[in-house]
Amino acid sequence: MNLARRIYRLSPNQYSAETIAVTFAKTSRSPEPFDRIAAELDAEKSSKFSEKWIVGYGHSSVAEHAVLHLALENISRLAIETIEGNRLASYTEKSTRYQEWNPDAWVLPPEIEASRFAEKYRGLMRLLFQSYAEATEALRAWCEEVTERLPEESEKAWQNRARVKAVDVARFFLPAASMANVGVTINARALEYAIKKLLSSELEEDRQIGREVKTVATQELPTLVKYANPIESLAGIRACFRTEAARVAAEPEEGWCQLLGAEPDAEDQVLAAALLRFGERSYSECLAHVRSLEAGEKSALAEALFAQLSDFDVPLRELEYAHYDFDLVMDQGAYFEFKRHRMMTQTPQALTTRLGYAIPKAMSQAGVEGLYRQAMNEAARLYEELWQFHPEAASYVVPNGYNRRVLCRLNLRELFHFTRLRASENAHFSIRRIALRMAEQASRAHPLFCEKLSLPDGETAESLGEAYFTDVSAKPDCAG
Ligand SMILES: Cc1cc2nc3c(=O)[nH]c(=O)nc-3n(C[C@H](O)[C@H](O)[C@H](O)COP(=O)(O)OP(=O)(O)OC[C@H]3O[C@@H](n4cnc5c(N)ncnc54)[C@H](O)[C@@H]3O)c2cc1C
């Protein structure tokens, strides 16, 4: 037996994804080296093994070693939400910040195509995309007027900076039906669940995508996604909770960022967990010790956790013992970015026009606020009509400017990461405002740690609101 250390790749050019997964699975019982195990496998043997161990005996984690790269093109942003709702995968999608949309790049969902609303839907899409193009031009001209050219900046670079600013605002017109592309890297275990969720969706586009993804994945994973079928229990759960949810009484307006839960002594808990990690005492003993410390001593410990961190370092995992629950309302454009943060638990409500819409200040300053309001009103009118017919499909017509509610739970480590990315000056102004308000609220609960968040100097959620928005919850006129 060769006892020398060996580290090498099992290349997907040589072995199928399923064979690689089975090779790794077999090391559990076989003393043979991986390459020898792999050499003895063929598609049939791998499939038999997968069927018995992974599918039959439920050793499902083995399927995580089979990884696929899936390219999905020209699907609606609404369908992208269903796909990206799977946490254990990697995504890169077409950006509303760096690209402009083709006027025909929208999905006509099968439910609506077959209904009496098809023509109205097409009419609204034409209006939204024409308004988007018109507003982009007006905003571009206005942004060039108000964007000073930097010393030594080329004409092209300056024009590009102005263009990006314009597109950041014009994106508020784009509906959830807008087509986009997304690249997905996902393992077979996560993919099986993703397909199940797609097949269980209330939207036909999702179900079609689920079937196509299953067909494509089966070419590489003949066994591991074979049993990906709709989740039968979902229909009952939906029906029960929708009925009960309809009975929940409305309260007076509660604000767009509410910190619902943050344990008062979470900072002590984080410090206790760090003491446990580097010491030999139990958690209760460490916590009792932290509680006995003077404020200055705790502050010194907190300081030590952050003092040496560079911009590229990640704080210790023990920060995950502090967590926050937020009830947030943000525009759909911001939500589309927010949902990408997989380390949070997120529960979004359906996308509707009923929480009002945001009006970016630049829309008013560039002289296209009227155009925007008209588009938002038309979208709300059709949304309400469609809602009577098919509430889920109605979401396709809702533009990015409309507000969305999302409940989320995140830990302090993720709050550091989120605010570093999303409060920074190069992030979109909508999500910057959300990130800053979340940081402000968390800081009130946990000042010791939250003062270490990397936030931009001199800016607050309120100052961003004033600088970038005419209104953040304008009510649409549905009367027509
Ligand atoms: C300026 C900017 C421009 C962007 N442009 C685009 C764009 O054009 N298109 C686009 O699709 N997205 C874009 N994004 C989104 C970006 O790619 C991330 O998906 C998003 O910011 C979420 O960040 P995250 O993955 O670090 O966060 P989370 O998902 O919250 O993850 C937190 C941390 O956990 C770790 N982690 C989580 N999952 C994995 C994993 N599977 N493998 C390894 N580590 C993991 C990482 O350390 C990660 O930083 C942009 C973001 C920014 C800030």
- Residue 185 beta carbon below 6 angstroms from any ligand 1 atom: no
Query: Looking at the predicted structure, is the pLDDT value of residue 363 above 90?
Result: yes
Q: How far is the CA of 341 from the centre of ligand 1 (A)?
A: 7
pLDDT higher than 80, residue 460:
yes
- Inform me whether the pLDDT recorded for 251 exceeds 90: no
Q: Quick check: CB of 93 below 6 Å from ligand 1?
A: yes
Question: Strand 257-261 vs strand 179-187: parallel, antiparallel, or unpaired?
Answer: unpaired
Between 70-74, 83-87, 94-98, 202-206, the lowest mean confidence (pLDDT) is in 94-98
Residue keyed to tokens 């409305």: 250
pTM exceeding 0.75: yes
**C-alpha span between 55 and 204 (Å, rounded):** 28
User: Which three-class secondary structure state does DSSP give residue 360?
Assistant: strand
Nearest CA to ligand 1 atom 53: 421
- At 478, give phi and psi (nearest 5°): -90, -5
Phi-psi domain of 326 (left: phi exceeds 0; alpha: psi -120 through 50; beta: other): beta
User: Mean per-residue pLDDT for 215-226?
Assistant: 92
What fold, for 107-173+253-262+322-480? Gyrase A; domain 2 (3.30.1360)
User: Is pLDDT above 90 for 400?
Assistant: yes
Q: Whose CA is nearest to atom 33 of ligand 1?
A: 343
Distance 86 CA to ligand 1 centre (A): 14
Ligand 1 near 340 CB (within 6 A): yes
What average pLDDT does the structure give for the chain? 94
Distance CA 90, CA 342 (A): 9
Per-residue confidence band for 309, with pLDDT thresholds at 50, 70 and 90:
confident
Q: Which atom of ligand 1 is nearest to the CA of 344?
A: 30
Which one of 64, 341, 428, 429 would you pick to mutate in the ligand 1 pocket, going by the greatest count of ligand atoms within 8 A of its CB?
341
DSSP character for 474? E
Going by CA atoms, what residue is nearest to atom 16 of ligand 1?
340
Give the confidence band of 433 by pLDDT, cuts at 50, 70, 90.
very high
Q: What is the mean pLDDT of residues 441-462?
A: 92
What is the per-residue pLDDT for 93?
Answer: 95
Rounded mean pLDDT of 377-401?
98
Question: Which residues contact residue 245 at a Cβ distance below 8 angstroms, ignoring those fewer than 6 apart?
Answer: none
**pLDDT reading at 123 higher than 80:** yes
In this structure, are residues 127 and 378 in contact, taking their beta carbons and an 8 Å threshold?
yes
C-beta separation of 175 from 106 below 8 A: yes
Residue 54 above 80 pLDDT? no
414 CA to centre of ligand 1 in angstroms: 12
Atom nearest to 92 CA in ligand 1: 11
Bigger pLDDT: 409 vs 454: 409
Residues whose CB is less than 8 angstroms from the CB of residue 121 and which lie 6 or more positions away in sequence, other chains included? 108, 112, 382, 386, 396, 397
What confidence category does residue 98 fall into, taking pLDDT thresholds of 50, 70 and 90?
Answer: confident
Among 437, 418, 416, smallest CA distance to 427 is for 418
What are the tens digits of pLDDT across the range 341-358? Answer: 999 999 999 999 999 999
In this structure, what token pair is assigned to residue 357?
A: 């819409």
In the chain, where are the structural domains located?
A: 107-173+253-262+322-480, 266-306
Kindly give the distance from the C-alpha atom of residue 413 to the centroid of ligand 1, in angstroms, as a whole number. Answer: 15
Locate the ligand 1 atom nearest the alpha carbon of residue 91 and give its number. 11
58 CB burial (10 A radius; 0-12, 13-18, 19+): exposed
CA torsion 265-268-269-272 (nearest 10°) is: -160
Ligand 1 centre from 238 Cα, in Å? 30
| Alpha carbon separation from 17 to 11, 54, 84 (Å, rounded) | 9, 14, 22
* CA–centroid distance, residue 454 to ligand 1 (Å): 17
